[in-house]
Structure 1
């Protein structure tokens, strides 16, 4: 009975609990972006959030869980942006849509500095695979709608390669000096446009 009560307390079901989790994740994002993954500690997250260390552990058993929650939060927000972008660019060419998509990704990284920090941070692999699978499925559906003749298998392959290109762009963008980032973005726009035009038009 006691274990059931404790388990229920760890789930932020009430509004105050949800606010506490949001505050902790915001503090974690700030800490991660400023000092990096290795230097970030649960104690530092608690201090930045103005919470006790016990409050942090109430919701997150370790730093990896915090990063996993941030990744899920970012993935959900990114999916919403993708949906809006697809609607806004429905009548545009593949080149225009690809460039808009890359610009959206760059904007997201600039608005969420912690996203760059946690790109290669350890997380729950099962959850991360699930998130990537959802993104791949969404892209595959978009490609099928763009080119009805494409097979489902081919659409998934193109989606997988596109996501890998995005991942590599993110990594290069994160490691580059600020003055070099615009050139990286331009090159990836060219590469992704050429690839998608070949697979979705030819």
Structure 2
């Protein structure tokens, strides 16, 4: 997936440059996660990614631009994942779709934690969160309409809000010990499955 760099940054033109940007971003994830946004330094990120500091600043002129690129990557990953689910949804049973929702949200767990921390550290969290929440709701609503054709748009949007709240529990399950996490995820799958089956069977 292509990464959108911030204004003023140098877009990589060769494969080597793309690999360097990927290494910098992964180092950024590690340092921001370990140190927090405020304590993280571009010098440490350069060292962690084995990048000369001058090269780092060509791709990311500031710590803020690197954080923006990481947030953009998270949004892109989420929206592309929902788009893939929307394409697959017509052929899925409620059981399969429930599993797909839970598995995808579980795969976002570590990225989501960092994204929330970066948004909070940089201010404007209410506006950014609201914008992303609407994107997620819209993506889920589209998946639901593809999976359950008789759903009205308004109903799919209401269901998307409910599902988003239920699926937030997936992040909490990620903090539990393995045995407890498996049990919690199994219960979340069951809840989502029952909810989807009820919607599919409701033709009123």
**TM-score normalised according to structure 1 size:** 0.72
How far apart are residue 79 of structure 1 and its match? Answer: 3.6
Change (3 A) 1:127 1:120: closer
Distance 1:52 1:197 in 2: 55
Equivalent residue number for residue 43 of structure 1: 43
Return closer, same or farther for 1:145/1:89 CA change in 2, 3 Å cut-off. closer
What SS does the aligned partner of 1:121 have?
helix
CA shift digits 1:27-61 (9 cap, x unpaired): 1123345x253664433222101234455455253
Could you tell me how far apart the structure 2 residues matched to 1:36 and 1:95 are?
A: 40
Partner SS for 1:47: helix
Gaps of 5+ in 1: 1-6
| Structure 1 segment 113-128 matched on structure 2, within 5 A | 113=110, 115=111, 117-123=113-119, 125=125, 126-128=127-129
**Residue pair 2:90, 2:147 contacting (<8 A) in 1 also:** no
- Ranges in structure 2 where 5+ consecutive residues have no aligned partner: 1-5
Q: Over the residues paired in the alignment, what is the CA RMSD in angstroms? A: 3.2
Question: How do 1:27-66 residues align onto structure 2 when only pairs under 5 Å count?
Answer: 27-33=27-33, 35=34, 37=36, 40-53=40-53, 55-58=55-58, 59=60, 61-62=62-63, 65-66=65-66
1:14 alignment counterpart: 13
Aligned to 2:184: 184
TM-score, length-scaled by structure 2: 0.71
For the residues of structure 1 that align with 2:17 and 2:136, how far apart are their CA atoms?
A: 29
Q: For 2:29 and 2:41, how far apart are their aligned partners in 1?
A: 12
- CA 1:69–1:82: 2 relative to 1, 3 Å: same
Alignment match, 2:146: 145
* Matches of 2:105 and 2:72, distance apart in 1: 16
Is the Cα contact below 8 Å between 1:173 and 1:184 reproduced in 2?
A: yes
Instruction: Give, in angstroms, the shift of residue 18 of structure 1.
Output: 4.3
CA deviation after TM superposition for structure 1 residue 68, in Å: 3.8
- CA distance in structure 2 between the aligned counterparts of 1:62 and 1:86, rounded to whole angstroms: 35
Q: Secondary structure at the match of 1:74?
A: helix
